[in-house]
């Protein structure tokens, strides 16, 4: 497989804490579920050279669809396996470098996009509007926070959704649950809820078209810094957040003009291009296996459905299929954890997924709600610190704050912000690094989350509630979050600067 953008640099693993075995490049470990303390033992069993993309099939696999036509599933997956990869191994290695910097506080990660992509809502304009919103937010974070921003879109693959129950009952009628457009349809009919394996191929084709457009935006001049003032969404122009963004855009333009006057060449790549990566939950394992490819340069396996894959709270069992699949691919990966995660178990899980303790390899995405995060998160951080493990800590303030209001699943902006505030507060208390935020959001002018600068009220939910799954922040609410996060990043930078004592010379 042709590699692109392979600029990886070696990074040293942090030394292990006293009494805890070091996880070095020379020494792999095996792990098992623990009740009291992590158990690590030398072995070669976790060496990815002994791993194959189909190995997950030997483990219990949760949240998988029940297809009625297994031969059709095989045919659809064989067709996808013949298709080109959606992403390239070199891009994954570059992303891992960026995430390694985020784990050290030298950059910040922004994940953002739909709860679940829909076939019916697929359009170039919707892709463009989400892309513009992520660019806006990254500009706010970089300018206000003073750090580079790693941009990941929940797009070009975020089709499948885990469900709390396999069926749904309405008016006495019970049908299979909607599991995302890659599996079945949202309409409450027997035909729509049938698991259709050929939706896998349709999802691949939509992902390929989406990535083609995103690459065009990223490297064709649309994302150039000279266009910062043109990224504002039309319906945002007369809002407080839109105006605040335009103020930053004006200051960026002035800074660029000053640099040009000083002789800067505006034709350099960083002025005309931007790095943009994709991510989605590693849920539907038939699809992931079909897109797993062996990189001919490094002789390593990569999940070529997306640059970054994560394992959800419902599928992170140590001895199950999703962890088995993710441990074998060399993409940067993530795991979502709630307040149910035991501190000892998180050390074991990290050792299993990142046995060489490679910075940037693994992100831990916490989703707890503000109150539970303040109570439970410090113990997780302490356990990881004590083990000497390196992870990128990311806050998902969405999934711990879902509630039902007037028959609509929604989230309150104030609760979302409160969890981000708690995330930064805990890291400040622990002396550790807040590495990123993971948001379900859209560039559409929707009314799905209550509150914020958009002033969406409970009675507004029925106005523009367009999601097929979970409620998303709209553009106004998302930008407001970006301004708050930028403020916390700036405060952190200033706090660290005051702790650095100037050296004196005689």
User: What angle (nearest 5°) sits at the alpha carbon of residue 283, between those of residues 104 and 383?
Assistant: 35
Number of H helices, E strands in the chain: 12, 16
Separation CA 139–CA 134 (nearest Å): 9
Say if residue 7 carries a ligand binding annotation: no
Tokens of 336: 């979502």
Answer yes or no: is 282 a known binding residue.
no
Does 336 carry a binding-site annotation? yes
CA distance 196 to 368: 34
Burial of 66 (0-12, 13-18, 19+ CB in 10 A): exposed
- Contacts of residues 401-404 at CB distance under 8 Å and 24 or more positions apart, as own/partner, are 401/369, 402/470, 402/471
Point out which residues pair with 111 in neighbouring strands: 152, 438
Torsion of CA 414, 415, 421, 427, to 10 degrees: -170
**146 Rama sector, left if φ>0, alpha if ψ -120 to 50, beta otherwise:** left
Q: Is 279 annotated as a binding residue?
A: no
Query: Is 313 labeled as ligand-binding?
Result: yes
Please tell me the distance from the alpha carbon of residue 27 to that of residue 59, in angstroms, as a whole number. 25
Cβ atoms 266, 292 nearer than 8 A: no
Binding site per annotation, positions for Mn(2+)? 115, 399, 440, 470
**Binding-site residue positions:** 115, 154, 313-314, 336, 367, 399, 440, 470
Question: Binding-site residues for phosphoenolpyruvate, please?
Answer: 154, 313-314, 336, 367
């Amino acid at each position: 497989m042709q590699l692109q953008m392979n600029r990886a640099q070696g990074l040293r693993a942090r030394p292990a804490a006293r009494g805890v075995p070091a996880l070095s490049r020379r020494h792999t470990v095996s792990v098992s579920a623990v009740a009291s303390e992590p158990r690590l033992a030398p072995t070669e069993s976790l060496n990815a050279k002994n791993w194959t993309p189909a190995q997950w099939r030997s483990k219990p696999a949760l949240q998988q669809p029940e297809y009625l036509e297994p031969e059709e599933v095989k045919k659809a997956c064989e067709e996808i396996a013949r298709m080109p990869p959606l992403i390239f191994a070199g891009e994954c290695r570059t992303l891992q470098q960026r995430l390694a910097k985020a784990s050290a506080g030298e950059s910040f990660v922004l994940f953002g996009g739909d709860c679940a992509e829909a076939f019916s809502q697929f359009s170039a304009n919707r892709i463009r509007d989400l892309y513009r919103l992520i660019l806006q937010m990254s500009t706010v974070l970089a300018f206000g926070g003073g750090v580079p921003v790693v941009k990941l879109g929940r797009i070009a693959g975020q089709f499948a959704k885990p469900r709390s129950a396999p069926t749904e009952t309405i008016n006495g009628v019970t049908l299979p649950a909607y599991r995302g457009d890659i599996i079945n349809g949202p309409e409450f009919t027997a035909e729509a809820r049938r698991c259709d394996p050929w939706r896998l191929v349709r999802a691949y084709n939509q992902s390929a078209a989406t990535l083609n457009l995103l690459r065009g935006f990223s490297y064709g001049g649309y994302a150039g810094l000279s266009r910062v003032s043109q990224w504002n969404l039309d319906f945002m122009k007369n809002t407080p957040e839109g105006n605040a963004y335009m103020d930053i855009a004006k200051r960026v333009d002035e800074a660029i003009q000053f640099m040009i006057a000083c002789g800067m060449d505006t034709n350099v790549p960083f002025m005309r291009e931007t790095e943009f990566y994709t991510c989605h939950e590693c849920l539907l394992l038939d699809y992931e296996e079909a897109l797993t490819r062996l990189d001919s340069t490094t002789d390593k396996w990569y999940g070529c459905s997306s640059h970054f894959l994560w394992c959800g709270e419902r599928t992170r069992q140590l001895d199950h299929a999703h962890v088995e699949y993710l441990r074998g691919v060399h993409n940067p990966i993530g795991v979502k954890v709630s307040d149910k995660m035991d501190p000892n178990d998180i050390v074991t899980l990290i050792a299993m997924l990142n046995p060489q303790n490679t910075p940037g390899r693994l992100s831990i995405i916490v989703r707890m709600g503000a109150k539970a995060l303040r109570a439970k998160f410090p113990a997780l951080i302490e356990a990881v610190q004590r083990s000497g493990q390196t992870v990128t800590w990311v806050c998902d303030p969405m999934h711990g704050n879902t509630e039902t209001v007037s028959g609509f699943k929604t989230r309150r902006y104030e609760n979302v912000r409160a969890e981000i505030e708690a995330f930064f507060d805990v890291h400040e208390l622990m002396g550790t690094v807040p590495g990123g935020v993971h948001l379900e959001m859209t560039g559409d002018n929707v009314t799905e989350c209550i509150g914020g600068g958009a002033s969406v009220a409970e009675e507004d939910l029925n106005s523009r509630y367009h999601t097929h799954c979970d409620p998303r922040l709209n553009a106004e609410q998302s930008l407001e979050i970006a301004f708050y996060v930028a403020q916390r990043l700036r405060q952190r930078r200033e706090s660290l600067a005051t702790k650095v004592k100037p050296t004196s010379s005689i």
